[in-house]
Amino acid sequence: MWKTIKRWYHQLGSPRYFYRFCEAVLPWLVPVSLALLAVGLVWGLVYAPVERYQGDSYRIIYIHVPASSGALMGYIAMGVAGLVALVWRMKMAEVMLKALAPFGAVLAAVSLLTGALWGKPTWGTYWQWDARMTSMLILLFLYLGIMALQNAIRDPRQAARAAALLAVVGVINVVIVKYSVEWLNTLHQGATLKVVGESSIDASMKWPLLISMAGLWLLYAANVLMRARTEVLSRERRSGWVRRLVRGGEA
Amino acid sequence: MSAPSLGTVWRASLRRELTLIWRSPADIVQPLFFFVVVVSLFPLALSPKPALLALVAPGAVWVAALLAVMLSLDGLFRRDQESGALDLLLTAPVVSVVPVAAKLLAHWLLTGLPLALIAPLLGYMLQLPVAVLDTLMVSVLLGTPTLTVVGAIGAALTVGLNRGGILLAVLVLPLYVPVLVFGAGVVRTALDGLPTGGLLAVLGAILALAVSLGPVAVALGLRISAGD
Amino acid sequence: MDAPRLTVRQLGCERDHRMLFEYLDFSARNGEIWQVTGANGAGKTTLLRILVGLHGFYQGRVEWSAPLSPSLLYLGHQPGVREELTARENLEYSRALSGQTGDPDAALAALDLYGFEDVPAGRLSAGQQRRIALARLWLDGKDVWILDEPFTAIDQHGVAALDQRLRQAAEQGVLVIYTSHHRVGDGVQRLHLGEDIEVAR
């Protein structure tokens, strides 16, 4: 097991292998993710039963929850990639870190937007400074900070390493922000979907949610791989395999 | 060949940093001035009514202190970078955490500490009851070192870039959220007459985390900005 | 002959989508003086920054036979002198930081800064500020000197004194690597960065 992980780590650490991995995975990853997303959303938005207290307005969770969780996971992944980039100076981790930011920021924005739309019928206002909305807003700021820093530094490797440090600091910060705003304010409902243990959500509502969540996460992964692939080609443009590729050969 | 002891480097660095700030008094006075001016804008913008002011005072003092610290950090490494002294520090045969920590301590002593010392005065001007002024001062005292260290990470990462100021704010302000929440929160808790010990302990814990890991991150940030 | 102190293999560096240099190969020993030449923008400063470990983005290998930092005396493109501090304070700080030994006042005097020890560097001329930085070469305890444009902004007399100091140090076993556009003296190894990298002895 450990050996397999180690081999993977080394193989994916090689830009050329990574490129070939992308070429192999993306052609099915994109359609699969889109199909899952479509199934999950149509099921959730059209066929899933109406919720007892919130009526149809609850259906926004089929977008809101996948987007929120995707934004959070993306930022944590950036922190992990940042740590790997800083400690082991692994180039691919720098590439991944850069590729993770834009889609993550979009998901954070989508989460805020759908949260606001959900808030109007449930709380009677589009915006509440409750713990989760506030945390997500700060998370969006952190995403934008990472992108601004990357944008400001001209050398791509230096930009990536600077962003790596900021992402690591940011992940530690996210944890403390979460506690601080929870202390500040507790109004939001608790988590309704638990991976382990009993969930308080009915199976007829849970399945479409899980499917659309898987779809959005895979779409995020596909987006990351596409961005990373472009970055790898740009970084490795002087190497033999990219030159062969440009001339129409095999990578 | 020869490598200096950590003690020698620490003492020489601290002396140098204190001398440097001491010889450009504007670096000490201007953050204080900024602090006072921003706080005095609040009664003008809101209303001079004592009851209202006392309600917003903890937040107003804290936001002003936070901005003062952040703005003072923009130039923390700039002159060292432009003069080439930063390269000296990074190529020295000691871990750069030591001279970096000395720099942060010196900066806090001559910027953060004075802010904490005049915070009660500003709280009083904003009609805070005298009974909570000590809590205000302690909270700023415990919070500003964290603000200095965390902000210095941003300053280190933006040191070579020409558009430091706004970019620094974009990077650092989201990281300041927990300190702001708990810092102002302690004072509001004291206003409500509730015990503040637990929250002060939280501020202290955040401070311990920042002081123990922060200088390493700052030193790393400086290396990255140098091009490593 | 003893083993090289510095071995550079297939070194290449890219800046802003342009290769500064590529396939750079050379090795340097203690007691040698190396002059790096090349036009503006040829990558002289970047090469030195790679050698001292400040610049980490390059291809190829840079190997020092023993850890560099305890031996290193690095003088960057900027002299590292703060204007608010006096000549002596500047020198004493860099001495403490690098762990050098020797008398700062004597070093300053050797560079014609006698009487200026307590003057803030900001009130001295550009050439005098360079001399404050160069005074580190008159302190002891370092045997790898990497100097970026040490001859800039100093007068003829200073150039002669510095040249003599570099040769004297090399005789005592110091490895000196410096950049300069001009003046190639005798007995200096030359490394030219440009269209064709050239290593001459």
pLDDT tens for C4-17 read 999 999 999 988 77
**Residue A199 placed within a domain:** yes
**Residue A5 placed within a domain:** no
Residue numbers in B near C52 (CB within 8 A): 91
Helix (H, G, I), strand (E, B) or coil at A1: coil
Tell me the pLDDT tens digit for each residue of A97-154. 999 999 999 999 999 999 998 888 877 888 888 888 889 999 999 999 999 999 999 8
- Is the pTM higher than 0.80? The answer reads yes
**Domain with A148 in it:** 29-49+57-246
**How many beta-carbon pairs below 8 A join chains B and C?**
104
pLDDT (mean) for B80-102: 93
**Residue A43 placed within a domain:** yes
C182: pLDDT confidence band, cut at 50, 70 and 90? low
Answer whether A177 sits within 8 Å of B158, measured CB to CB.
Answer: no
**Residue A10 placed within a domain:** no
Tell me the pLDDT tens digit for each residue of C61-100. 999 998 998 999 999 989 899 999 999 999 999 999 999 9
B→A contacts (Cβ < 8 Å), by residue, are 150, 153-154, 157-158, 161, 163, 167, 170-171, 173-175, 177-178, 181-182, 185, 206, 209, 213, 217, 220-221, 224-225, 227
**Residue A12 placed within a domain:** no
| Domain count for chain A | 1
Q: How far from the centroid of its chain's Cα atoms is residue A220's Cα? A: 6
Q: Three-state SS across chain B?
A: CCCCCHHHHHHHHHHHHHHHHHHCCHHHHHHHHHHHHHHHHHHHHCCCCHHHHHHHHHHHHHHHHHHHHHHHHCCCCHHHHHHCHHHHHHHCCCCCHHHHHHHHHHHHHHHHHHHHHHHHHHHHHCCCCHHHHHHHHHHHHHHHHHHHHHHHHHHHHCCCCCCHHHHHHHHHHHHHHHHHHHHHHHHHHHHCCCCCHHHHHHHHHHHHHHHHHHHHHHHHHHHHHHCC
Give the containing element (helix H, strand E) for C15: strand C6-15
Quick one: pLDDT at residue A42?
86
**Residue A8 placed within a domain:** no
Tell me the pLDDT tens digit for each residue of C131-164. 999 999 999 989 999 999 998 888 888 888 898 9
Residue numbers in B near C94 (CB within 8 A): 88
From C125's Cα to the closest Cα of chain B, the distance in A is 14
C22: pLDDT confidence band, cut at 50, 70 and 90? confident
Answer whether B92 sits within 8 Å of C71, measured CB to CB.
Answer: no
pLDDT (mean) for B165-180: 93
A248: pLDDT confidence band, cut at 50, 70 and 90? confident
Quick one: pLDDT at residue A187?
35
Closest in C54, C82, C120 to B91, CB measured: C54
From C8's Cα to the closest Cα of chain B, the distance in A is 18
Answer whether A152 sits within 8 Å of B153, measured CB to CB.
Answer: no
Answer whether B24 sits within 8 Å of C84, measured CB to CB.
Answer: yes
Residue numbers in B near A181 (CB within 8 A): 177, 181
**Residue A18 placed within a domain:** no
| Contact A83/B at CB under 8 A | no
**Residue A22 placed within a domain:** no
